[in-house]
Amino acid sequence: MTQVQRTILGIDPGLANTGWGIVSQCGARLSCVAYGCISTSKDTPLAHRLMKIHRQMGAIIARFEPMCAGVETVWFGSNTQSAFATGQARGAALVACAERDLQVGEFSPSQIKLAVVGTGSAEKDQVQYMVRQLLALEDIPHPDHAADALAAAICFTTHEGFADRARSAQAVGRIASLRQDRESCPTRAADVAPARFSVPSSGKETA
């Protein structure tokens, strides 16, 4: 079996700080290539902040040439204003991914925690610790936005495997169901009554 070899971009969107991380995958082995954070000032007009996120994300993609991207979705908590701002930043980053035809996987915070730590209710420091362990880093990546982005990239690899297994399980289930249907509804000639036709005087065949 051919080993998967690819470069994955992870994105933790935010208007003030958008974390990014580049993970290299060779089979089951993952390694960190680079990570960082795109920061914008609250004193800058919104349109210019979004333009900066878009342009710098595009430059990162051009520099490291990832094949795919794992992006964290927006969590709508009590602060809806912050969630909307994060959604706008996320959109700017997604456009940069689309411009370079990247395969994008979108994951909720709980999905990322589950993939990296093993539980969807993990604490932030647990996620950072496991990112360090899984990527064999000497230190926990800083800022934490970059660590979250690396976690999103890791999630892309594990979630893709879960999806493949789910599709395989669904296919096996469909095959089993078809077999069961055939067994309960035999189509042998002896079990099927022949159709009877009569021919009226007009010569037209009727059932």
Task: Answer yes or no: 54 catalytic.
Answer: no
Choosing among 3.30.420.10, 3.10.20.740, 3.40.50.300, 3.40.250.10, the CATH entry for 5-167 is 3.30.420.10
Binding residues: 12, 72, 145
Q: Which long-range contacts (CB under 8 A, 24 or more apart) does 193-196 make?
A: none
Q: Which of 12, 54, 148, 159 is catalytic?
A: 12
Sorted by sequence, the CB contacts under 8 Å of residue 91 that are 6+ apart come out as: 50
Q: What's residue 83's pLDDT?
A: 87
CA distance 46 to 177: 54
Q: Which of 99, 125, 138, 145 is catalytic?
A: 145
Q: What's residue 2's pLDDT?
A: 65
CA distance 2 to 53: 36
Read off the pTM. Answer: 0.76
Task: Answer yes or no: 142 catalytic.
Answer: no
| pLDDT means over runs of 10, the chain (207 residues) | 85 97 95 98 97 98 97 77 91 98 95 94 94 96 96 90 45 52 46 35 41
Task: Answer yes or no: 65 catalytic.
Answer: no
Q: What's residue 122's pLDDT?
A: 94
| Cβ atoms of residues 35 and 94 within 8 Å | no
Sorted by sequence, the CB contacts under 8 Å of residue 52 that are 6+ apart come out as: 38, 40, 44
